[in-house]
Structure 1
Amino acid sequence: MKQNTNIFYRLKKSIVLITQVIALFFMQSCGDYLDVIPDNIATLDNAFKLRNEARKYLYTCYSYLPKNGDVIFNLGMLTGDEIWIPYRTSITSDAFEIARGNQRVSNPYLNVWDGTWAGGGPNDNYKLFIGLRHCNIFLDNVKDPDKIPDLDDIERKRWIGEVEFLKAYYHYYLLRMYGPIPIIDKNIALDAPEDEINVERQPVDAVVSYIVDLLDTAIEKLPEDNTIIPNIEAGRISKTIALSIKAKVLLMAASPLFNGNTEMAPLIGNSGEALFNTTYDENKWTLAADAALAAIQSAEANGKSLYEFPTSSFNLSSETMTQMSIRQAVCERWNSEIIWANPNSQASEIQRLAMPPLKLTHNHNDARKILSPPLKIARMFYTKNGVPINEDKTLDFTNEKELREADFSERFNIKEGDKTARLNFDREPRFYADLAFDGAVWYKYDSPSSSDEGDVWSVEAKFGEFAGASHAFHTNETGYFVKKLVDWNQVTYETGGAAYQNYAWPEIRLAELYLMYAEALNESQGPSATVYSNLDIIRDRAGLDGVVESWANYSSNPSKPTTKEGLRQIIRQERMIELAFEGKRFWDLRRWKLSSQFLNTPVTGWSVKGEDAVSYYQERTIYQQTFVSPRDYFWPIPEGAIIQNPNLVQNLGW
């Protein structure tokens, strides 16, 4: 079906020739773009006369990949309940307005539909319909064998596969946000009649089929990961990346939000066609499982494996080594676990926003500490026995604020002699790897003792202390800090300030593929040894026993892993723990149709203005979130787009 990328605002007769040479994968989106098929066809043809010029256009197609390593642009990071920040102090975030229940149909927050953000003016990085237009122009020209004579057949095939992937990915991104969308398969000519320009939204199943078919077409053309030239081509799309995105698309399509969602029955297209199939189809889980397995097999065949922190000259305990494996799986650049990292999105500022000051001379501008996980997230992690805190029959967390002093045996997690809440003791390694809190050890490269023994960095977070909530703008709201996203090579200078080692934001890790396969396989077939093994490989890296063994030995509900429903709960919690703070939870809660459950509870934290342990470790309500179902499961289409195109129908509740 032919659609037009410029369908949501008035067509303009203009063209800007893209001339800026962009360094591969460190490029920024061009300030101008092709609004429509240009009147001056000869000018456009110049972009595809020679390989060098066509390559610039290829980079332009890549430049619309969302910059998820930036909390401002990562649509899943500050929109939910996983990370809270001070309101309009250290940073201003449109995403945080959504978390606070302030989304609106007029000038929506994070408006990807036409790229105009409430923060003011257009945002070129998120004009995905314009990105799709570029992809169509590129494919129309590069598929023509009479153009770009100095481009050999092998490279031509690869470029086409890359842009077919990008075209599929941008559709997936829009589908995840808005639900049913128009399919932008071809660009519409400037003189097309109005009925062609005013396109309609297509049913979800049709959009999913289109995306999957396009990915299959791309996969045939893309290179294997082990043929990608390191440092030169890192970040370019490979076969494994495309297989992984295909699995993500099918997993989303099989999930409750899209599979048999009867709440969406009233959403009918302008032509009278239902936009959601309200009949549940279990086979969609089978398709998702098969796709996840194919992605895993491709990854492992290309040498991918879960990251393990290597031994070094530093004398580190096994506890710290486990934590470093967990942390650096995200932060270690181009490590063996990374399926797809986006070098166009460097994780630099996000580290500064996560890091707390660890000494008096550590400047708060260099360690802003504003990324604050609520208490519900701290409770989410398992006990040291690998089961939820409310299920562990050997440990009592009833009085979670009870003060306890850390002893010598706990020195790798909590500074010996420090008093902190009971909630912070007896937790799994991922709790200590991902989170920090008052009294928590923060091991990094410049440890004063050059090891994890003796004089080590630790967080002092009570009011008036180094990391306390005493700064006018850069304050932590909950008493928890995001350690996971800060590379261990972060250096704190004696004279003040800090240096962070950047890393390309990891869009997909191998651990996520294992979790996707386990989830889809459990839904399609129920508990099995294969489901357990895909969970246990992740748990083993996290220093935990397997699922069946942990629940049998420590859970008050030992049979939980033996039923589909029980294992579903385990898989979901395992996923939320393993992928914490990577921008995944928001989207998972949506596709599971659990947002109305999780996002209608208070956001709470410790009383960060407390100056001593007793006053600090009191739970306080920071904000009462509200989530309206089914309205808030999808973004509103901008009011102006509905007015300009009468064939578009608005999402429910808006």
Structure 2
Amino acid sequence: PNPTQEYAEMFPWADGTPFDWDKTAAEGKLDEMFVKGDRVPGQKMLQNRVYTRDPRMYETMGVNGALMGLDYSSGTTSGANWEAWVGGSDASQQPATNTGVWATGYRNLKYVGGEFFRRKNPQWSWLQLSDVYLTYAEAILQDGGSLTDAISYVDQVRARVGLKGLAECNPDKNLTTNKENLLEEILRERACEFALQCTRYYDMVRYKRADLFERKLHGLRIYRLNVNGERTETPWYDTEQSSIDNENDERFYEPNKFEYEKFEITTGARIWWTDGFDCKWFLQPFPLSEVNKGYGLDQNPGW
């Protein structure tokens, strides 16, 4: 499935501090929620391009304004920019009608082999060192150990991608003394580290988080703005970027002003969004054929 806006908001800023949609919007900085850079006279593409969020975001999903080519070894990017706005060369009109791979404003990149980068089919990472660290941190927390020790293992995972310490970046959550808050941060960290690796679902099941299952999901609808602040539903990279040579023409320059709007995902709505989450879904049913063999296998409750 495509990542959703809620999923994207789990990824912090590049320094490790939490991303807050409302705060960012109030500061007028939603344009910088993925990428920022300078528009230098005579240069079509943004200069001094900075990826403003947790690097794991760009490894996981395609986002508006990021460059398509991603070297998974060095983390460097190159090539054309993702045009996820309505009418952009990648998203076309699909975000406006809530269909297609860009329906949520994001698209999956993790474990995509060959489609864009002509890479061989990737191998699935069944166990990662970061999984050991985060699992151990959770075990320390649940066994009554030092929360500071638990945080130290989380911080080793964060340090790999240049994020500052968890407690330092969340001073209002009292993570060295508040077990519940620290658990929430560990689960969020797992969601970022193991994005789209079938981990989040089982974490939600382990802790019987019906509240998270019932949470309605949202997409991100993006509109490109011209110099007058008007919406412009046209592509850029393979059209204006390549056909306009006049640097005094606004269309010469890579777009850097957008409107970002959240919208509720209704296509393929889950029953637990409308009728509530049934606790029987925390377990899967055994095949009835096995239960009927009569060797003592009891069906899971509710099935």
Q: Same fold, TM exceeding 0.5?
A: yes
Give the match's secondary structure for 1:617. Answer: strand
Change (3 A) 1:559 1:619: same
Which whole-Å CA distance do the structure 2 matches of 1:481 and 1:506 have between them? 20
1:374 aligns with 2:4: yes
Give the match's secondary structure for 2:176. Answer: helix
Q: 8 Å contact 1:532–1:547 — kept in the other structure?
A: yes
Which whole-Å CA distance do the structure 1 matches of 2:93 and 2:27 have between them? 25
Change (3 A) 1:380 1:463: same
Q: 8 Å contact 1:401–1:618 — kept in the other structure?
A: no
Which whole-Å CA distance do the structure 2 matches of 1:504 and 1:547 have between them? 30
1:458 aligns with 2:88: no
Q: Any residues of structure 2 matched to 1:171-210 within 5 Å, and which?
A: none
RMSD between superposed Cα atoms in Å: 3.7
Q: Any residues of structure 2 matched to 1:626-645 within 5 Å, and which?
A: 626=272, 628-645=277-294
Change (3 A) 1:616 1:521: closer
Q: 8 Å contact 1:384–1:428 — kept in the other structure?
A: yes
Shift of 1:468: 1.1
In the other structure, the counterpart of 1:408 is 37
Shift of 1:618: 4.4
Q: 8 Å contact 2:101–2:107 — kept in the other structure?
A: no
Q: 8 Å contact 2:30–2:260 — kept in the other structure?
A: no
Q: Any residues of structure 2 matched to 1:609-628 within 5 Å, and which?
A: 612=233, 617-623=261-267, 624-625=269-270, 626=272, 628=277
Match for residue 396 of structure 1 among 9, 12, 23: 23
Shift of 1:399: 5.1
Change (3 A) 1:607 1:407: closer
What does the per-residue CA deviation read over 1:462-487, in whole Å, with 9 as the maximum and x for residues that have no partner?
Answer: 34433215579853220112233346
Give the match's secondary structure for 1:536. Answer: helix
1:468 aligns with 2:91: yes
Q: Any residues of structure 2 matched to 1:502-581 within 5 Å, and which?
A: 502-552=121-171, 557-581=172-196
Which whole-Å CA distance do the structure 1 matches of 2:299 and 2:115 have between them? 50
Give the match's secondary structure for 1:619. Answer: strand
Q: Any residues of structure 2 matched to 1:21-100 within 5 Å, and which?
A: 84=1
Which whole-Å CA distance do the structure 2 matches of 1:476 and 1:500 have between them? 21
In the other structure, the counterpart of 1:276 is none
Shift of 1:638: 2.7
Change (3 A) 1:621 1:520: same
1:567 partner letter: L
Shift of 1:510: 0.8
Q: 8 Å contact 1:518–1:532 — kept in the other structure?
A: yes
Q: 8 Å contact 1:526–1:564 — kept in the other structure?
A: no
Give the match's secondary structure for 2:130. Answer: helix
Which whole-Å CA distance do the structure 2 matches of 1:389 and 1:430 have between them? 14
Shift of 1:512: 0.2
Q: Any residues of structure 2 matched to 1:123-522 within 5 Å, and which?
A: 372-390=2-20, 396-398=23-25, 404=31, 407-408=36-37, 416=46, 426-444=52-70, 452=77, 456-468=79-91, 474-486=100-112, 499-522=118-141
Change (3 A) 1:614 1:518: closer
**Which of structures 1 and 2 has the bigger CA Rg?**
1
What does the per-residue CA deviation read over 1:30-85, in whole Å, with 9 as the maximum and x for residues that have no partner?
Answer: xxxxxxxxxxxxxxxxxxxxxxxxxxxxxxxxxxxxxxxxxxxxxxxxxxxxxx3x
Give the match's secondary structure for 1:504. Answer: coil
Q: Identity rate of aligned residues, in percent?
A: 25
1:571 partner letter: I
Give the match's secondary structure for 1:512. Answer: helix
In the other structure, the counterpart of 1:316 is none
Shift of 1:401: 9.4
Change (3 A) 1:460 1:628: same
Gaps of 5+ in 2: 225-231, 234-256
Change (3 A) 1:561 1:409: farther
Q: 8 Å contact 1:385–1:544 — kept in the other structure?
A: yes
Q: 8 Å contact 1:436–1:482 — kept in the other structure?
A: yes
2:14 partner letter: K
Q: 8 Å contact 2:69–2:79 — kept in the other structure?
A: yes
Give the match's secondary structure for 1:542. Answer: coil
Shift of 1:604: 1.6
Q: 8 Å contact 1:547–1:561 — kept in the other structure?
A: no
Which whole-Å CA distance do the structure 2 matches of 1:652 and 1:456 have between them? 53
TM-score normalized by structure 2? 0.69
Shift of 1:600: 0.9
Change (3 A) 1:486 1:477: same
Gaps of 5+ in 1: 1-83, 85-371, 418-423, 446-450, 493-497
Q: 8 Å contact 1:437–1:481 — kept in the other structure?
A: yes
Change (3 A) 1:409 1:526: farther
Shift of 1:531: 1.7
Which whole-Å CA distance do the structure 2 matches of 1:460 and 1:404 have between them? 14
Shift of 1:376: 0.8
In the other structure, the counterpart of 2:221 is 607
Aligned residues: 253
Q: 8 Å contact 2:105–2:219 — kept in the other structure?
A: yes
TM-score normalized by structure 1? 0.34
What does the per-residue CA deviation read over 1:627-649, in whole Å, with 9 as the maximum and x for residues that have no partner?
Answer: 63321001112334434438433
1:380 partner letter: M
Give the match's secondary structure for 1:373. Answer: coil
Shift of 1:565: 2.2
What does the per-residue CA deviation read over 1:124-154, in whole Å, with 9 as the maximum and x for residues that have no partner?
Answer: xxxxxxxxxxxxxxxxxxxxxxxxxxxxxxx
